[in-house]
Amino acid sequence: MTEQLDHARQHGDRLALTRRTLQEITGTEPDDTTGHIDTLPPAYRDILAVFIRTTGALRAEDLRQALHTGTEPRHVEAMRAELKRLVGRDILTEPEPGSFAINPDKP
């Protein structure tokens, strides 16, 4: 039981760190009542969490694999569309066609 509690605490600590990092990247503050970033849908927060855990640029297929989404080409295209939307929000950049990275200029 103690081991499970320790594991849960560690998981909670990692989630809190990810939330703070996402807040820094997106320039948002948590909602006082929920403690969550309210400007990004969960799918986008999941994508950004993958970028936080890695260094350098990623392709849509890399993210699809990391997030364990479907394997069909339409799933890769859907991921690419979400990445393009994050580029449009100035959260990600596209240093090369099809390659995405966290925007280093974002406070």
Contact by Cβ (8 Å): 18, 52: yes
pLDDT value at residue 35: 34
Res. 32: pLDDT tops 60: no
pLDDT at residue 37 greater than cutoff 50: no
Cβ burial of 54 (10 Å; 0-12, 13-18, 19+) is middle
**72-101 pLDDT tens trace:** 889 889 999 999 999 988 889 999 999 999
Of the listed ranges 8-12, 46-50, 87-91, the least confidently predicted one is 8-12
Residue 31 pLDDT > 50 = no
Delineate the domains of the chain, giving CATH numbers in brackets: 2-102 (1.10.10)
Measured CA angle at 106 (ends 69, 80), to 5 deg: 25
Question: In this structure, is the dihedral angle defined by the CA atoms of residues 9, 65, 67 and 56, taken in order, positive or negative?
Answer: positive
The pLDDT assigned to 98 comes to 92
**The pLDDT of residue 101:** 93
Which residues are registered as beta bridge partners of 93? Answer: 101
What global pTM score does this model have?
0.63
Asked if residue 23 lies in contact with residue 30, where contact means CB atoms within 8 angstroms, the answer is yes
